[in-house]
Amino acid sequence: MDLGLKNAVVLITGGSKGIGLACARSFGAEGARVAIASRSETNLARAVKALEQDSIKAIAVAADLVDPQHAAAMVAKVEAELGPIDVLVNSAGAARRTPPAELTAEHWHAAMQAKYFTYVHAMDAVLRGMAKRGAGVIVNVIGMGGKLAGPTHLPGGAANAALMLASVGLANAFARNGIRVNAVNPGLTETERMQEGFEAEARQSGRTIAEILQERTKAMPLGRLAQPHDIADAVVFLASRRASYVSGAVLSLDGANTPIVI
């Protein structure tokens, strides 16, 4: 199936590892021109090398998206090197997992800065250009924590919920400009972020990380946790012309672990 992504310019924030890196691989395999962004130049260099081993060429941009000026500079650099951005995938930023007894006001502020505003700043940096060209796609990788409150993920879950509203609202507001905006909500996915979450849960419960991992894996209806490429496949489809009438959608990717209509 031709997804119509050959030579499309795709910018992936948080593209140096985890789900973001898996997205870079999947878009590259479709023939897209890929740019990845991260705060860490070390992680970016490692990711570019890993992609090269898969015969995928990517440019790397170091940016701290908590700062809107960094977001604007990131977009300017990508467009100077590759051309106008056709697809933005937001996968950067994550709130720290914190047991409820340890929460302070600073944790709530930090979560919004780390997750919500990093996405909003990146979207703001591309939306005007996309609107002027009459075309563009944004896919926000958010997380199920915005729909189901987890005790160690309350500030991050609140940021996720806000991002879902922003995603569907922007989809509606910019539809007549030819822009589609969708969100995907991964469940437990085997990444470094999952490990950090298990560490917080272990502190709260007194169990070991291995015990928590075994319990969570056993509880999954599909018998396994998600892999980053599972999420990337859905992101690539939503960005493709095969999903040309899908906008304002929030797709749960938790392997049927939440069997309710939400």
Distance in angstroms (rounded) separating the CA atoms of residues 238 and 249: 10
Average of per-residue pLDDT values in the chain? 92
Residue-range definition of the domain harbouring residue 232: 9-152+173-253
Give the pLDDT confidence score for residue 75 in this predicted structure.
98
Query: Is residue 167 situated within a structural domain?
Result: no
| CATH number for position 102 | 3.40.50.720
Query: Is residue 96 situated within a structural domain?
Result: yes
Query: Is residue 242 situated within a structural domain?
Result: yes
Query: Is residue 3 situated within a structural domain?
Result: no
Q: pLDDT tier at 185 (50, 70, 90 boundaries)?
A: very high
Query: Is residue 168 situated within a structural domain?
Result: no
Asked whether residue 198 carries a pLDDT value surpassing 90, the answer given is no
Query: How many domains is the chain built from?
Result: 1
Q: Bridge partners of 253?
A: 186
Query: Is residue 159 situated within a structural domain?
Result: no
Query: Is residue 166 situated within a structural domain?
Result: no
Query: Is residue 197 situated within a structural domain?
Result: yes
Q: Is the pTM of this model over 0.75?
A: yes
Q: pLDDT tier at 260 (50, 70, 90 boundaries)?
A: confident
Give the pLDDT confidence score for residue 253 in this predicted structure.
94
